[in-house]
């Protein structure tokens, strides 16, 4: 039913408009009485629980950063059955993001190109929303993903990340450092080990007892992936998220003219599956067994989530397939996991 609705109606709308419309529905589903109806249909079972980062996740499957940039849909996403919600990316300074249009569907590839540019209302606004969420906790674990403000020079990035961490870490179940988006100039350069080490150290000190993870790009060479994973362990981080979107356009079946028209930005969705899985295996081989590894990129079905778990993922996230699968995607994932 949803696939037909998407093809006949939703695919005709501008992708960013459709996302905002979908988020409005998600927010409604997070409020009574709608949450009372949705939750029994989507609630994970006790056997789905995962213990990681000193937390209990209701299920291994969560929604990746980028979907709920401003922590406004956490209750609704929890009601739809996601075991955790990673909000953001949030920057210390509010910013509008890149000029529109900045979100493009590649439907034949079940993919999306985005160059959103960390559009968000800033850490102070997120802090207020997270305080409200803490009063009546949703079932889902809440992660907070932080990034560099665009107006801040790369050489001043550490202080910028620390400013966000000081505000948001006390309200987060875990904190994720995003140094891997392709849509903020100079950001990916922070993944160089010599640059990343002092950044991780400073943010960890600011985060206090809140578990800290770092999110990396899929486009790094294998040896750099392993080096960052080893660095995360050495610096006392609690986990690593692999991976962000890719700048590659290899292997796409969408009309090349349409791909070219979409322009620069991060590609997410099914084309990322193979590389994301490969990076997961590299990371898992480089870190201790109890180190949390969250795998994200190209996941759409319960079988694919199971493949990530079998490959060593502690938790799995998705985002792009939500656009193609619809509001009961997390429920479909759970059914697929149990079908095994």
HEC assignment per residue over 262-293: HCCCEEEEHHHHHHHHHHHHHHHHHCCCCCEE
Residue 17, class by beta-carbon neighbours within 10 Å (0-12 exposed, 13-18 middle, 19+ buried)? Answer: exposed
Could you report the per-residue pLDDT of 35-57, keeping only the tens digit for each? 777 777 777 877 888 999 999 99
Is residue 203 within 8 Å of residue 241, measured between CB atoms?
Answer: no
The pLDDT of residue 10 is 62
The pLDDT of residue 1 is 63
Point out the least confidently predicted range of 83-92, 98-107, 185-194.
185-194
137 vs 66, residue with greater confidence? 66
329 vs 338, residue with greater confidence? 329
Q: Work out the average pLDDT over 317-334.
A: 89
Whether the pLDDT of residue 103 is over 80: the answer is: yes
- Angle in degrees, CA 195, 266, 298, rounded to 5: 105
Helix (H, G, I), strand (E, B) or coil at 196: helix
The pLDDT of residue 190 is 74
Report the first-to-last Cα separation within the chain, whole angstroms. 25
Q: What is the mean pLDDT of the chain?
A: 90
306 vs 181, residue with greater confidence? 306
Smallest Cα–Cα separation from 139: which of 200, 210, 59, 206? 59
Specify which residues 235 forms β-bridges with. none
How confident is residue 181, by pLDDT bands cut at 50, 70 and 90?
A: confident
Domain limits of the chain? 2-339
Rounded to whole angstroms, the Cα distance separating 309 from 293 reads 10
Smallest Cα–Cα separation from 189: which of 160, 155, 140? 155
Rounded to whole angstroms, the Cα distance separating 200 from 158 reads 9
121 vs 134, residue with greater confidence? 121
Whether the pLDDT of residue 252 is over 80: the answer is: yes
How confident is residue 283, by pLDDT bands cut at 50, 70 and 90?
A: very high
DSSP state of 95: B
Question: Which CATH code fits 2-339?
Answer: 3.20.20.70
Point out the least confidently predicted range of 171-185, 213-227, 232-246, 313-327.
171-185
Whether the pLDDT of residue 279 is over 90: the answer is: yes
Q: Work out the average pLDDT over 188-213.
A: 89
60 vs 19, residue with greater confidence? 60
338 vs 130, residue with greater confidence? 130
The pLDDT of residue 26 is 81
Point out the least confidently predicted range of 114-118, 280-284, 290-294, 311-315.
114-118
The pLDDT of residue 335 is 86
Strands 111-114 and 266-269: antiparallel
Could you report the per-residue pLDDT of 144-158, keeping only the tens digit for each? 999 999 999 888 999
DSSP state of 139: S
How confident is residue 16, by pLDDT bands cut at 50, 70 and 90?
A: confident
Task: Give catalytic residue positions.
Answer: 181
């Amino acid at each position: 039913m949803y696939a037909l609705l998407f093809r006949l109606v939703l695919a005709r709308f501008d992708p960013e408009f459709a996302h905002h419309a979908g988020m409005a529905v998600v927010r409604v589903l997070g409020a009574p009485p709608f949450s009372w109806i949705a939750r029994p249909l989507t609630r994970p079972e006790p056997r789905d629980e995962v213990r990681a980062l000193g937390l209990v996740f209701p299920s291994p499957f969560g929604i990746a950063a980028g979907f709920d940039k401003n922590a406004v849909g956490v209750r609704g996403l929890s009601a739809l059955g996601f075991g955790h919600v990673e909000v953001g990316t949030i920057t210390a300074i509010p910013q509008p993001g890149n000029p529109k249009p900045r979100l493009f569907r590649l439907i034949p590839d079940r993919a999306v190109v985005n160059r959103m540019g960390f559009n968000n209302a800033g850490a102070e606004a997120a802090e207020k929303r997270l305080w409200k969420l803490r009063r009546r906790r949703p079932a889902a674990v809440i992660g907070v993903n932080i990034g560099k403000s665009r107006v801040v020079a790369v050489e001043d990035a550490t202080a910028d990340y620390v400013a966000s961490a000081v505000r948001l870490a006390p309200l987060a179940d875990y904190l994720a450092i995003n140094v891997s988006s392709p849509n903020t100039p100079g950001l990916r350069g922070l993944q160089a080990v010599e640059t990343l080490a002092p950044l991780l150290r400073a943010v960890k000190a600011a985060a206090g007892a809140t578990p800290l993870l770092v999110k990396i790009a899929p486009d790094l060479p294998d040896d750099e992936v392993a080096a960052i994973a080893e660095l995360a362990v050495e610096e006392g981080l609690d986990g690593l998220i692999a991976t962000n979107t890719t700048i590659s356009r290899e292997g796409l079946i969408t009309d090349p003219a349409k791909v070219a028209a979409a322009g620069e930005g991060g590609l997410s969705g099914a084309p990322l599956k193979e590389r994301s899985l490969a990076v997961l295996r590299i990371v898992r081989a480089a870190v201790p067994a109890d180190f949390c590894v969250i795998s994200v990129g190209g996941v759409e079905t319960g079988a694919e989530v199971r493949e990530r778990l079998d490959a060593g993922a502690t938790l799995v996230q998705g985002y792009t397939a939500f656009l193609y699968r619809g509001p009961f995607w997390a429920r479909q994932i759970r059914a697929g996991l149990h079908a095994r």
